[in-house]
């Protein structure tokens, strides 16, 4: 079994990416990097109202750059990195897989595959609970959920093969 040092966690809104990433990093004794945590700690308190997407995306990109800089140092010490960065689109997964490959690191893609109706139910429950995985300073509305759903690109079979993919529903997992 290959020892992967970079783990890309992907799934659409409400799939359970962060919950899965926490479990995976514990199992691997790795370090987890979560974009929601970085954004909440560094920028959400300064968010303009109403939210300006360009403002947010600029800060997301800054975080991604710094997260990768930290991940490459961590993986360079033979410590697995679990990247909970959303990876909702093919190009973002390809970008980070390419960065890892260029650094001589192996990648594994973890696809949390949960039907949309179940994910929406989970989002509503998370909005109400505001528990551990509620990182944002606002609830995810149905409008936001549907917008992100329209951008979501599930991994293809070829992508799963290329990145040693593991498909899970986040609950019963053969890859953990």
CA atoms within 13 A on the CB side of 4: 23
Q: Are 164 and 2 in contact (CB under 8 A)?
A: yes
Q: Given this model, what pLDDT does residue 144 score?
A: 85
Query: Which of 101, 116, 117, 111 minimizes the C-alpha distance to 155?
Result: 111
70-100 pLDDT per residue, tens: 999 999 999 999 999 999 999 999 999 999 9
Beta pairing partners, 120: none
The tokens 């549907």 sit on which residue? 146
Q: Given this model, what pLDDT does residue 55 score?
A: 87
Q: Which domains does the chain have, with CATH numbers?
A: 6-168 (3.40.50.300)
Q: Given this model, what pLDDT does residue 176 score?
A: 47
CA atoms within 13 A on the CB side of 22: 7
Which regions of the chain are under pLDDT 50? Answer: 1, 173-176
């Amino acid at each position: 079994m290959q020892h992967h040092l970079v783990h890309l966690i992907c799934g659409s809104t409400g799939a359970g990416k962060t919950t899965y990433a926490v479990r995976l990093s514990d199992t691997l004794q790795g370090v987890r990097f979560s974009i929601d945590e970085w954004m909440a700690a560094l920028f959400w308190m300064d968010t303009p109202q109403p939210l300006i997407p360009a403002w947010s995306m600029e800060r997301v990109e800054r975080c991604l750059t710094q997260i990768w800089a930290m991940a490459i140092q961590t993986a360079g010490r033979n410590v697995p990195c679990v990247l909970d960065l959303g990876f909702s689109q093919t190009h973002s997964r390809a970008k980070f897989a390419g960065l890892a490959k260029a650094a001589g690191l192996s990648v594994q893609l973890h696809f949390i595959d949960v039907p949309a109706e179940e994910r929406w139910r989970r989002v509503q429950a998370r909005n109400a609970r505001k528990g551990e995985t509620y990182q944002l300073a606002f609830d995810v509305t149905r409008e936001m959920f549907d917008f992100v759903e329209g951008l979501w690109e599930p991994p293809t079979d070829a992508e799963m093969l290329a990145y040693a993919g593991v498909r899970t529903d986040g609950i019963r997992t053969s890859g953990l």
